[in-house]
Amino acid sequence: MIVFSVLLPVLLKSNTQVQYKSIYSGYTVGVIAEKNVYAKNSIDLVDHDATQEKVTEARKAVLPVFTWSSLKSSEIIARADRVRALVGASDKAGLILLLGDEAIATSVLSLDPSLLGIAYNIVNDIVLGGYYVQSELDSVMAEGYDSITISNSYNGSSPSYEYVLSVDGSNLTVANVDLFIASQLLQSADKFSSRDILIVEELIDTLAEPNVFYDSVLTSKRRADAEDNVDPVVISVTKGQILIEADHVVNHEQMELLRLLSTQSNSLTFVEVLGHIIFDIIFLSVSYYVFTMFLGRRDFHFLQHNILLTAAFLISLVATFFLVILSSRLNLEFSDSFLPVFFLPLFMTEVTGYKRIGFVSSAMLSAILATLPTASMMTFFYCFACGSVCVFLIRFFNKRMDMIYQWFFSCITCAGVTILFMLVNQASFTMIFTVLLGTLMNVSIAYIMLAALLPVAERLFNLPTIFRLYELAYGESPILTRLSQSAPGTYSHSMAVADLAEIGARAVGANALLARVGGLFHDIGKIEHPEYFIENQNGVNKHDDISPSLSVAVIKSHVKVGADKGREAGLPIEIIKIISNHHGNDIIAYFYNEAMKTQAASNDKGETVKASDFSYNAEIPDFRECGIVMLADSIEAASRTVTPNASKYAKLIDSIFIGKIERGQLDDSGLTMNDIKTLSEAFVKTLVARNHSRIEYPDED
């Protein structure tokens, strides 16, 4: 629980969808602000849009880099030199191989050597001036560049020279190289024939090739370096700084700042995380101590209740994470209505049967929700109020259908609480429908989850919830059906004990339904050998034919047999303990006295009769409902031996109560002397009402 409680605010505060969404809502450029909007904490904001603009400008400032290829240039000059050498040697075959055209090779052999020198100089000028690929220059100009960087580096190596050159259409390419050649030869046109000039042009065009190329790798690297050197645009906001001033028109810059705040992730510092850890440890420890104190260490489902508390708490925190993100997207000024504060207290109240457990669970969850980055000063009080209202409205109904009525009243009440807290927080009512919808959705989902998960928890942990007890008390039970058939007297006795126990438990504020179910099942062990119990006998007493010690063994066996059958039937542990301990370790007085009489009559000087041999071998009741069933069982059986009369019932009950107290049977039951008095009065009224007298009707002829 502590780990999840610490992780929740850490994850939410680093989520860009959560920050400042609530204060961003309700404001547009040009409206007049109703109240001051303050910064929640100090933060250095990175203006990503402005930073991206700087990055774009830095990348744009890097000119496309063209590399002058020394290798290609050397190859071109070498070919020109080779042509001069082959012409001087009159090597026609070598020229054909070099130029790849027999006609050009033949024509070149006839040229004047001085004209060949002019051709060589023109090729050299083309190489030194740079010969470009037309498509590469076109793409650069299409990007909006009118200048390029000329470098002799290759893929990032250190250049020996580098300069900027304008791209103005005069750069030599395939498109204009012929014009350049023609302009250079024009100066010698009067010295040579036009045929020779054309041969030289064709020769130069064959020898010249592009030697300056666009270096995309070097350009990308320089642009990446320029991007890395751009410092982000940072806006510093201090905690408590006024972002929007009341009664002033909201301008574009303020809205832009709010928008920027709403997109920033803001991870917690080490000190803040440490503070969350200390707070969660202290508060959850205190809450858990109160939880266990209210639950009671003697609770039979202590471990199961702790497991369910942890599971429901973690489910609530996971749901909180997603619901906070959802509500942040809605840009609500009051988003606390979307916090899942209802399921945990409702679930724990129904599981344990104690409202105080629900209040503790609500406080525990509310304190953790108050540490969220979206929380306000009133978040804890709002969450605790809503959770407590739902717990307060629980009436421990017996039918699951009654949840609908409780859901309805919870929705109405929590909607009123939400409106009240909106007024306290001075929140705008422009989105009140969405806020109330969040409340109704929260309550509805909580009850849906309660209806779905409560039966699972009942069966998984065998819990005696109000629904489970109601089903056992008033539903069809195979074991009780068998008891009514095989031991009708015991069944009738059990029904009477159940009525007495329920009325008595209600009178002293105990769990009346648990006492009733315990009374119904307390004697199911008498299914085996029912004829040995007087309420099932019809004039023939089986005990007349056996010794008192054997009779006691048969009588005592119904406790163990009943507990075993209760476990086979999957009854809750509380009911099994009532079955096992409803006689405690009390003495079976009738057969003990019979054994004493038998020994006295026989003048047997052997082993004396021990009271322990004629006592039940169980533990004494250790919770109130078990003690009440014990008393109801004894009183119901004894009440059949006296004439129905209030005073006689009172004396009988007092004597039974005093005997139980003197023999220590109620020491651990938790029943006080005031409870004993209240039980006595309730039992007397019940017995008198049940066994009231009737007028005698006259006989008719």
**Which two three-digit tokens encode residue 9?**
């605010």
- 241 in a domain, yes or no? no
Cα separation, 548 vs 594, in Å, equals 7
Contacts 24+ apart (CB under 8 A), 390-397: 390/342, 390/345, 390/346, 390/414, 390/443, 390/446, 391/345, 391/346, 391/349, 391/355, 391/358, 391/359, 391/362, 392/355, 394/346, 394/349, 394/350, 394/355, 394/358, 396/353, 396/466, 397/466
CATH of the domain at 685: 1.10.3210
Whole-number pLDDT of residue 382: 94
Domain total for the chain?
Answer: 3
pLDDT band per the 50, 70, 90 thresholds, residue 508: very high
Lowest mean pLDDT among 137-151, 254-268, 276-290, 561-575: 254-268
Whole-number pLDDT of residue 265: 58
528 and 675 belong to one structural domain = yes
Q: DSSP label at 336?
A: G
Mean pLDDT for the chain? 85
- How large is the angle between the packed helices 113-129 and 194-207, nearest 10 degrees? 40
673 and 562 belong to one structural domain = yes
- 44 in a domain, yes or no? no
**Which two three-digit tokens encode residue 301?**
């489902």
- 231 in a domain, yes or no? no
Domain boundary among 177, 210, 226: 226
72 and 11 belong to one structural domain = no
Whole-number pLDDT of residue 62: 93
With a cut of 80, say whether residue 360 has pLDDT above it: yes
Which has the higher per-residue pLDDT, 298 or 653?
653
CA distances (Å), 117 to each of 80, 165, 179, 186, 514, in order?
10, 29, 19, 15, 121
- 119 in a domain, yes or no? yes
**Which two three-digit tokens encode residue 167?**
């791209």
CA distances (Å), 372 to each of 25, 29, 87, 436, 528, in order?
19, 29, 90, 21, 62
Strand partners, 132: 212
With a cut of 70, say whether residue 695 has pLDDT above it: no
Strand partners, 163: 150
Q: Under a CB-based contact definition with an 8 Å cutoff, are residues 614 and 588 in contact?
A: yes
Cα separation, 254 vs 266, in Å, equals 20
Cα separation, 94 vs 563, in Å, equals 116
Question: SS3 for 642?
Answer: coil
Cβ neighbours of residue 438 under 8 Å, at least 6 residues apart? 327, 332, 335, 337, 338
Cα separation, 140 vs 573, in Å, equals 85
Q: List for the chain the helix, strand, coil content (%; round to 5).
A: 65, 5, 30
Cβ neighbours of residue 48 under 8 Å, at least 6 residues apart? 263
361 and 497 belong to one structural domain = no
Instruction: Summarize pLDDT for 530-585 with one digit per residue, the tens.
Output: 787 777 777 676 676 777 778 778 788 888 989 999 999 889 999 999 999 988 88
Instruction: Summarize pLDDT for 597-644 with one digit per residue, the tens.
Output: 776 666 655 567 676 677 888 889 988 999 999 999 989 888 887 877
501 and 570 belong to one structural domain = yes
- Its domain, for residue 330, covers 2-19+267-463
491 and 453 belong to one structural domain = no
Whole-number pLDDT of residue 266: 64
Closest CA to 98 of 75, 129, 128: 75
